[in-house]
Structure 1
Amino acid sequence: MNTPTTPQDNPQDDKHHLRFHLPHAHLSSVFGDDWFALKAERFARFFGTPTFLVAQTVIVAVWIGLNVAGLTKFDVYPFILLNLAFSLQAAYAAPLILLAQTRQADRDKASADADARHREDIARANEQRQIQTAEQTAQLLLLVEQNTRLTEMTKQLSERIETLTLELHDKLASTGTKA
């Protein structure tokens, strides 16, 4: 059985508001669409949130506070372990953020392509409506002209019938008075 593969092959899908996005559904993203890819992108997006910034600030303040106050000695000044943690975070954060941006750029490009096709489709439909309107206007003008001619012919025939009726009346009236 031959099934439609594009929205243009199936006229029932023309009313679907995302029909222009369907051709991009087969594209895989940079991260992919598996569990890891989705979690990695979500994690990369989390780096720019106020929640992350506040939480990181609290953790660093507690880390430094505990070590400066002498309550613990796991990372004394100059906080080498804290610097190592920041370096590790940066090493993972930068590529994840870049990949998330690339993935978003792919989605934006696909959406822009679909929007451009949608605008072109609207423009074509508008041109077709304008052509149909022009054709209908020409047909209406032709019908008005025909109606005008028919009205003039009806008027002329009515005047002729009136003239003939008057002539017939006059003949019959003049014949009736002679007899």
Structure 2
Amino acid sequence: MEKETAPAAKKNHFRFHQKHLHLAPVFGNDWFALKAEAFARFFGTPTFLVSQTVIVAVWIALNVMGVVHFDIYPFILLNLAFSLQAAYAAPLILLAQTRQADRDKAHADADAQHREDLANASEQRETLAAEQSAQLMILMEQNTELTRITKTMSERIQTLTEEVHRHITGNPRD
């Protein structure tokens, strides 16, 4: 029979972050904000960069070789497309950065609280250990005193026993 995992072993490692879950990001969690952030993150991927490079190269090649004539040199339409892309990319990237900064701040706050809780717990353990050490010292002193009293009483009992023995037997031993 396998030993079941103890509930303590299944601890939620993000439990200190849970109290920050109520904090809504600056731009919310609606579909637009989530899609905009995903799109902004896509701008920095190798897939996007390679795809854009291929599209631009094909665009220029088709127009320079004369296969199509919709955007001849100096490629004003291509320049307009880049300007339009930049006009949308910049705010989307800023949105993604702001949302990430909010998440980072919430995580940093939770981590700071966790470190504070650990420091408090450590301080409490140290205080408890000091109190227990002091109690142990008191108990050891009491034990030493009881041992001394027991020794004194044992010696007194031995003396009394010898006196009673001498008195009963009439044999004075000195």
2:154 maps to amino acid: S
Q: Percent identity?
A: 73
Match of 1:101 among 97, 105, 111: 97
Alignment of 1:50-129 (within 5 A): 50-129=46-125
Look up the match of 1:26.
22
1:7-35 superposed Cα distances (whole Å, 9 cap, x missing partner): xxxxxxxx643333233222221221011
Structure with the bigger RCO (C-alpha within 8 Å, sep 6+) is 2
Look up the match of 1:8.
none
* Distance (Å, rounded) in 2 between the aligned partners of 1:145 and 1:61: 90
* Distance (Å, rounded) in 2 between the aligned partners of 1:31 and 1:70: 46
1:142 paired to 2:158: no
1:101-122 superposed Cα distances (whole Å, 9 cap, x missing partner): 1111111111111111111111
* Distance (Å, rounded) in 2 between the aligned partners of 1:139 and 1:28: 51
Number of aligned positions between the proteins? 162
1:99-149 superposed Cα distances (whole Å, 9 cap, x missing partner): 111111111111111111111111111111111111111111111111111
TM-score (norm 2): 0.87
* Distance (Å, rounded) in 1 between the aligned partners of 2:161 and 2:22: 84
1:157 paired to 2:157: no
* Distance (Å, rounded) in 1 between the aligned partners of 2:70 and 2:162: 129
1:46 maps to amino acid: F
RMSD between aligned residues: 1.6
* Distance (Å, rounded) in 1 between the aligned partners of 2:13 and 2:69: 62
Look up the match of 2:6.
none
Look up the match of 1:10.
none
Look up the match of 2:3.
none
Deviates more, 1:133-142 or 1:15-24: 15-24
1:76 maps to amino acid: I
Alignment of 1:34-53 (within 5 A): 34-53=30-49
* Distance (Å, rounded) in 1 between the aligned partners of 2:78 and 2:13: 51
Structure 2 unaligned residues grouped into runs of 5+: 1-10
**Alpha-carbon deviation of 1:174?**
1.8
* Distance (Å, rounded) in 1 between the aligned partners of 2:92 and 2:22: 23
* Distance (Å, rounded) in 1 between the aligned partners of 2:151 and 2:54: 98
2:88 maps to amino acid: Y
Structure 1 unaligned residues grouped into runs of 5+: 1-14
